[in-house]
Chain A
């Protein structure tokens, strides 16, 4: 006899103690082919039924192990397939790969648990049991007994006597078809899947579907080849933030007038700027004794008379364009900041 299938009756109870009595009646005579409906799981019901333990845990375990192995296989396999050293780490970097193995263990474990639950609980079901009672999910209990005509009659009598408020027979005409939507949704996903596959099989390696190019990889641009200079901007292009024109030559430069005056407010800024950008070579007092200079090349002592006499514009010009091995500073240090540094230099020279 198939379990939980075929002709059946459903006895509805309004109280849990009566339900338990009914279960005991069935159990006492060794009858096992019945299901119990309850709104919540309850320890007493489980205890009375004494059914074997759920096998869902096996699904979890197998899923978890599969995920664990998949994690290692995916990471190690792909690293060996295309050996490329990134960030100075070994090709097979166990510590970071472990993170992925861990995550996939959980992902696969959870998916397998879900599947184990659905398979074992026979869900989703397209139709509810024909004589399902809508009070069962809320505050009533039910015992559904399966079997041949004769035993059903007997059990209907027994359960009625133990206190069932209602015993329903299997009625083939009465059908709930609550769950037809499921099949529509399934169909939808199948459709999506099929069309994805179809689309994917139409694409080629250049990222084209037919004539339509959907992928824009940087290295596939029509313009420039490897090792080639990037395309220069259109003539006359200026950055939105404005652009500082180069100074023609030192003769133009010496005529420039320092637009900033040192005040108590910006003196500190000037000092910080000097000490951030200039001190490494020129030293704290601009004597050319910075910590970098000691190991590299000594710049001139800027407190010498000839630098005192040099106009502001000249010092500015050197910072703007560089001089000998001193690199130009026009990218990192803004124009106004350069003028401030000039002022600070003057302060240092005066202190001399």
Chain B
């Protein structure tokens, strides 16, 4: 976290005065669709389907937003300097995080469809798996992480936002005023930021690691209350991180195009973040492989059950294999080429495929445990819920992009 060279004030591209109206409109329609589908579930139309899809999407999108913020924190902790635009784009997902608390509490309504130990308590595990403790601690997980993330991002973007405000290039909003309270001067702000971050960065990363591990155990693994795997928590954590990186790439490509930043953001940043994404996909694959191989080899009844269900019982093998092919293998092949990492269109396609495969991962981890019918729980209702989450996350990100400069103005301009 070395300060940039002293007494030089960088200049930033101000955020767009007006957001692309169509995007906002489409996102709002998505949100309404999501709410409608959810309401259908609550009043009793296909409730189980709705709640399975709700949990899948909740887990996926909250992990994605948190993973993106953690990407930014990890970038800062390792003194990264390869992509500040990527970092700011990643931080943009932070606005979704406070929403995770009410969104999780909403799943209380569908608890009886989701976690089997709520309707049929397991006596031996009651100390950990009981309703009040479960909801209290998972709510606490989301609350703590969203507070920490908000604090981190507000420290992280303060110098940039403050500098733009000083120059009068930002719309006035109460949020910006609060963020830049007691603003001094860019370089001294950078120093304050440094000293604040030295403490905050390790603690946010450690908190993320611990909480996401236990979140994996609690929210997803306990859907199969008798099954357990020590690696499951870390598996959950790295997949969230992976989704965050993929989503960041997609958002950055879109921002570069629609906010007209092509002159300011070089493709080198995308090259580096793609390498990171490839590494994360390999890590996810490696972890999955480690878990699979141990269970396959041991062949113990209580463990192998879960794999048999997902690898041999229709229709799950299609989804399971799509995850393995598109999330773990395809990125290695696709990212071998340098051109793919530097051409926006191909990178967009590859990152989208990875992101969809990551969604499928959560789906195939959650649905088979809860859904016991023959037909596939994928249809209009699920689409509605997925779009609802997409719309919410999209709106949150746009709200951030309106306030914060994403790119440094390049010298040629």
Contacts and interface: CB of A to CB of B under 8 A. Distances in A.
Interface stretch (B26-34, B162-170, B289-297): B289-297
Given A61-B336, A95-B292, A88 B297 contact: no
A96 interface: yes
A96 B299 contact: no
Interface string B287-308: 0010011001101000000000
A96 B293 contact: yes
Contacts of A96: 293, 297
Contact of B299 (A61, A88, A99): A88
Given A88-B299, A95-B293, 9 more contacts: A61-B336, A89-B297, A95-B292, A95-B296, A95-B297, A96-B293, A96-B297, A98-B289, A99-B293
Interface of A: 61, 88-89, 95-96, 98-99
Interface string B327-356: 000000000100000000000000000000
Q: Is the interface of A mostly helix, strand, loop or mixed?
A: helix
Interface in B265-298: 289, 292-293, 296-297
Contacts of B299: 88
A88 B297 CA distance: 10
B332 to A, nearest CB: 11
Contacts of A98: 289
A96 B292 CA distance: 11
Interface residues of B, number: 7
A85 to B, nearest CB: 14
Nearest to A99: B293
A96 B336 CA distance: 25
A333 to B, nearest CB: 31
The 5 nearest A-B residue pairs measured at CB? A95-B296, A95-B293, A95-B292, A88-B299, A61-B336
10 contacts: A61-B336, A88-B299, A89-B297, A95-B292, A95-B293, A95-B296, A96-B293, A96-B297, A98-B289, A99-B293
Nearest to A61: B336
B231 to A, nearest CB: 16
A105 to B, nearest CB: 11
Contacts, number: 11
A8 to B, nearest CB: 34
B113 to A, nearest CB: 34
A16 B297 CA distance: 59
Contacts of B297: 89, 95-96
A298 to B, nearest CB: 31
Q: Which one of A88, A89, A95, A99 has the highest number of Cβ atoms from chain B below 10 Å of its Cβ?
A: A95
Contacts of A89: 297
A98 B299 CA distance: 18
A79 B336 CA distance: 32
A61 B292 CA distance: 28
A96 B297 CA distance: 9
B326 to A, nearest CB: 18
A95 B307 CA distance: 13
Contacts of B296: 95
A95 B336 CA distance: 24
Nearest to B295: A95
A43 to B, nearest CB: 13
Nearest to A98: B289
A89 B296 CA distance: 10
A98 B296 CA distance: 13
Contacts of A95: 292-293, 296-297
B268 to A, nearest CB: 13
A326 to B, nearest CB: 33
Contacts of B293: 95-96, 99
Nearest to A102: B289
A61 B299 CA distance: 36
Contacts of A61: 336
B128 to A, nearest CB: 29
A304 to B, nearest CB: 39
Contacts of A99: 293
Contacts of B336: 61
A95 B297 CA distance: 9
A95 B299 CA distance: 13
B285 to A, nearest CB: 11
A88 B304 CA distance: 15
A61 B336 CA distance: 9
A47 B341 CA distance: 22
A302 to B, nearest CB: 34
A88 B299 CA distance: 10
A284 to B, nearest CB: 23
A42 B289 CA distance: 40
Contacts of B289: 98
A97 to B, nearest CB: 11
Contacts of B292: 95
B266 to A, nearest CB: 16
Nearest to A53: B338
Nearest to B336: A61
A195 B94 CA distance: 69
A98 to B, nearest CB: 8
Contacts of A88: 299
A98 B293 CA distance: 10
A98 B288 CA distance: 14
B60 to A, nearest CB: 27
Nearest to A94: B296
B73 to A, nearest CB: 30
A109 to B, nearest CB: 12
B81 to A, nearest CB: 16
